[in-house]
Each structure stands twice: as structure tokens, then as C-alpha cells.
Amino acid sequence: MDIRFEDTGSGGRYAVAGDGGEAEMTYSRAGSQWIADHTVVPEAMRGQGVGEAMALRLVEDARAAGARIVALCPFVKAQARRHPEWADVVM
């Protein structure tokens, strides 16, 4: 799966293009905290692991940067509950 990352300066955006449109996950930065605030996956792309793949990429990137994730986004919160191995990064 090709996950594109765009740095917006004050945060970032992960995106996956597909036949059904474009899925995206956004976050903003506040010091060493990354605030995951929005995830959208078009109906035609659901059930294919797109959202989970973007969340995993966010976790991996935060780990590499020494950042912690504040999960305001309900989807990221739900994924963090399903993945206890992310507890070192997701608050």
C-alpha cells in the first residue's frame, strides 16, 4: 500500500489514493506531542486495512521522532486499544 506523507510544518497528513477516492489521516504538532485529530476512509476503501496502515505509519514515525501521540481521533483511539504494543507511543 502506498502511503504518502505530507509535512504541513505544524503537523502532517498521511494519504492513500484508491479507486474509491482518497483516505487521509491528519495530525498537528505541539512540541513532542503529535495530536491525531482526523481520519477518513471512503466507503469504497473500507475493510481493506487502509486506516490501520495509516495509523501504524503514524506510530512508527512518532517512535522514530521520539514523539508521543495524543489520540483525539476516535479511529486512532480505537486502533490504540486494539494494539497494546503501541502504548509506548500513544497516550
User: Domains along the chain?
Assistant: 4-86 (3.40.630.30)
| pLDDT at site 34 | 98
Q: Does residue 1 carry a pLDDT above 90? A: no
In DSSP notation, the chain reads ---EEEE-SSEEEEEEEETTEEEEEEEEEETTEEEEEEEE--GGGTTSSHHHHHHHHHHHHHHHHT-EEEE-SHHHHHHHHH-GGGTTTB-
Kindly report the pTM of this predicted structure: 0.94
| pLDDT at site 67 | 97
18-63 pLDDT, tens digit each: 888 999 999 999 999 999 999 999 999 999 999 999 999 999 999 9
| pLDDT at site 80 | 97
